[in-house]
Structure 1
Amino acid sequence: MPLMVTRPTEFTRRGFLSALGGLAALPAFAGSGLGASLLSSSDAPLFASAFKKSAGGYGIAVLDDLGQIQAEISLPGRGHGIAVSDTGDCLAAFARRPGTFAIVAWPFSRWPMQTVVAAPGRHFYGHGCFSKDGRILYAAENDFASARGVVGVYDVSGETIIRLGEFDSHGIGPHEALLSPDGNVLIVANGGIETHPDHGREKLNLETMSPSVVFLDVQTGDTLAEHRLDRSLYQLSLRHMALDGAGRAWVGGQFEGSKTDTPPLVAIISRDEAPVLLDLPEKLVGQLENYIGSVTATTDQSVVATSAPRGGKTLFWKAETGDYLGHQNISDGCGVAPIDKGSFLISDGNGGVSYLSDPGERAEILARPAGFAWDNHMTALRI
């Protein structure tokens, strides 16, 4: 899995947008292959996303804040989510369910990448997170013989990655996992859907789903709190999360019930309070295909973005109050990453990368690299 680095661009996003002059897109710059050390040659913001190429093949791309691809990491199959350590020097990319590989890379150094293979009887769910000091990687996994969710615990601090063990996720189908701001609590969204690799991505228990969000002690795996929605929402699979400034988890749901139903799709869940469900504005009810694809927050955690790729919309919320701020129409837009206190990059399945400076303003397409289709998530690697 080689790391291929392209020549960095030398202009700013502000200057680029000024020069754009209303154009709808700009082809991505295709530089020559260069050494990996160039990723550390400037302090420009960088982002990472899984991709698929139209010519075949999967990988992870590192992009700058102009949507220009700076590096590529080849993957043996389709990737999904990317975790980045608090120090920003290490990333982990996970296979999409029911894949059994993850890669750990240090993109700003010459340390070799390492491949993690899921333990026997386990597969990854596409997400994970690092401990506060970056030495431990937590991965959402499936113990598929018993339909039991687990969190794999890996030591990534040495020359060889070691699987130390696992925690019970206390649910079925753990998806995204986040670390609390103090580093002491692991927050896990259990999607509630049973799957088995013998059945591919088939959902085996739609009539008996039981999604939840749990708060676990990172040292022991003990349950500190567990939240489930009202029984009437048992088919609202809780998948993706982001933390706001108060440490609350904003959770996006994917509804597996009737297509004619219009349940709430976003919840705010904290350790010691009952879940708060947010109402969609009337004009968007029934427009999101009952599917939230990604959740993220600005760097100051004051604005939360929830993408609905099937509905072609990305919604924005005021984190403190839960008030709806507006939305953008972006076809198949799913990956969302913060740039600063008020700005986002948004990637889409058509290969586009858009810049949004304010929820009330129109997003600008920065780049559309030929032959690339971005996967569901974009992660800030360096801001």
Structure 2
Amino acid sequence: MRSTETKLTAVSRRGFLAALGGLALSPAFARTPLAENLTQSTFEGEGQLFASAYKKTSGHYGIGLLDEFGQVLAEIGLPGRGHGVAVSEDRSCLVAFARRPGTFAVVIRAIAPQDPELITAAPGRHFFGHGSFSADGQLLYAVENDFHAARGVIGVYDLTGAGVRRIGELDSHGVGPHEMVMAPDGKTLVIANGGIETHPDKGREKLNLATMAPSIVYLDAETGDLLSEHRLDAALHQVSLRHMALDGDGHVWVGGQYEGPAHDTPPLVAKFTMDGAPELLEVPGVIASTLQNYIGSVAANKDGSVIATSAPRCGQTLFWDAQAGAFLGSQRIIDGCGVAPIDQGSFLISDGNGGLSIVDDPGTRADIIARSPGYAWDNHMSALTG
């Protein structure tokens, strides 16, 4: 019901912003000043709220909280470069993850009066930049690298106590797990194993491009049992399956990044279900040849009827009819990568030059609604409210 949604939006916005108040004294964040521009009107607003990692020209990293007009309302300093932000279903908690091969994540609780908490990856593990919550918000699942064994794992964290506890891990049944979503049933994790072996001693070097084997797997979130596994044809084994979003029917849309010859133009967008064969989506040739074989983010609009896939290397964001799988068009946004739904049919898109653009319809031109000098928005953006 709409009245419930409005109440949740108001509480969530106030809560997330108010939760920043105690960060300034937290030793873990002492090097990066926080929440410098909050006002009473900021807390009282009932508009939408979004989060994206940033880097400032000063060299500081953090998470920016933005309204639907693209204005930065507050900042959350991070110890290093951030990547993705996971948001609980009830909007009461968010977690910002370090970019691979980072070893930190920051938990921010919007309702409970607790300072944000810094999580450090377990020995022999590092984060891959993404995570997901259990349906009830009590557990956090984080994609991680068991780099000694060259295998992917899903770290399981208990959020119910006074402090976050790592209580175990699940096998991702692949190498290099990247993004992960909770299926609509609230019981199944869907994981994109990118297939690329890395080791922190080698930085971001890719160690197995000739033999990489990406996959999409469905896991029982409680037991870790493998429910289903999908791979593309052998000829496409160098399409690293990376980012994903759920459409309105619960189908999983995945964007790929191709590690093969630059002159190839393999399919980079696919749709998956637990039991069916992958459906590869076709990008018109004139556009496909410009994508530089890289999809950066995947997001659905609020009713899941339209999917957006950003291609920042060529400055294009592509749009798809979720049900038919048809290509709807593209919009040019220079270095645009982070994508989030802003209302029933529109998307907010962030770029590496500090800009925020809105696309009201795939067939209409993107409009720049704000530009924040000194900011470079990172690859992803998450809707925190509404």
SS, match of residue 260 in structure 1: coil
CA deviations 1:45-96 (Å, max 9, x no partner) are: 1000000001111000110000001110000000000000000111000000
User: Which ranges in structure 2 are unaligned for 5 or more consecutive residues?
Assistant: 1-18, 23-34
Report the alpha carbon displacement of residue 364 of structure 1 after superposing the two structures with TM. 1.0
Match of 1:16 in 2: none
SS, match of residue 198 in structure 1: helix
CA contact (8 A) 1:135 1:157 kept: yes
Match among 162, 169, 178 for residue 166 of structure 1:
169
Mapped to 2, the partners of 1:267 and 1:215 lie a distance apart of 16
CA deviations 1:305-338 (Å, max 9, x no partner) are: 0000001100000000100111100110000000
Match among 281, 303, 310 for residue 300 of structure 1:
303
Match of 2:341 in 1: 338
Stretches of 4+ aligned residues off by more than 6 angstroms? none
Mapped to 1, the partners of 2:72 and 2:294 lie a distance apart of 28
Identity, in percent, stands at 62
Match of 1:274 in 2: 277
Q: Counterparts in 2 of 1:316-355, with a 5 A limit?
A: 316-355=319-358
Mapped to 1, the partners of 2:341 and 2:131 lie a distance apart of 19
Q: Counterparts in 2 of 1:1-383, with a 5 A limit?
A: 3=20, 33-34=37-38, 40-107=43-110, 110-383=113-386
Q: How many residues align?
A: 356
Mapped to 2, the partners of 1:229 and 1:192 lie a distance apart of 12
Mapped to 1, the partners of 2:185 and 2:375 lie a distance apart of 37
TM-score (norm 1): 0.91
CA contact (8 A) 2:144 2:153 kept: yes
Mapped to 2, the partners of 1:330 and 1:89 lie a distance apart of 32
Report the alpha carbon displacement of residue 282 of structure 1 after superposing the two structures with TM. 2.4
Mapped to 2, the partners of 1:41 and 1:134 lie a distance apart of 25
Mapped to 2, the partners of 1:296 and 1:39 lie a distance apart of 27
Report the alpha carbon displacement of residue 4 of structure 1 after superposing the two structures with TM. 6.6
CA contact (8 A) 1:328 1:363 kept: yes
Instruction: Give 1:365's aligned amino acid.
Output: I
Report the alpha carbon displacement of residue 107 of structure 1 after superposing the two structures with TM. 3.7
Report the alpha carbon displacement of residue 34 of structure 1 after superposing the two structures with TM. 3.5
**Greater percentage in helix:** 2
Report the alpha carbon displacement of residue 285 of structure 1 after superposing the two structures with TM. 2.1
CA deviations 1:284-311 (Å, max 9, x no partner) are: 1211000000000001000000000001
Match of 1:17 in 2: none
Match of 1:24 in 2: none
User: Which ranges in structure 1 are unaligned for 5 or more consecutive residues?
Assistant: 6-30
CA contact (8 A) 1:61 1:71 kept: yes
Report the alpha carbon displacement of residue 216 of structure 1 after superposing the two structures with TM. 0.1
Q: Between 279-288 and 106-115, report the one with greater CA deviation.
A: 106-115
Match of 2:8 in 1: none
CA distance change for structure 1 residues 172 and 110 in 2, over 3 Å: closer, same or farther?
same
SS, match of residue 384 in structure 2: strand
Mapped to 2, the partners of 1:246 and 1:49 lie a distance apart of 27
Report the alpha carbon displacement of residue 108 of structure 1 after superposing the two structures with TM. 5.1
Instruction: Give 2:355's aligned amino acid.
Output: G
Mapped to 1, the partners of 2:41 and 2:206 lie a distance apart of 44
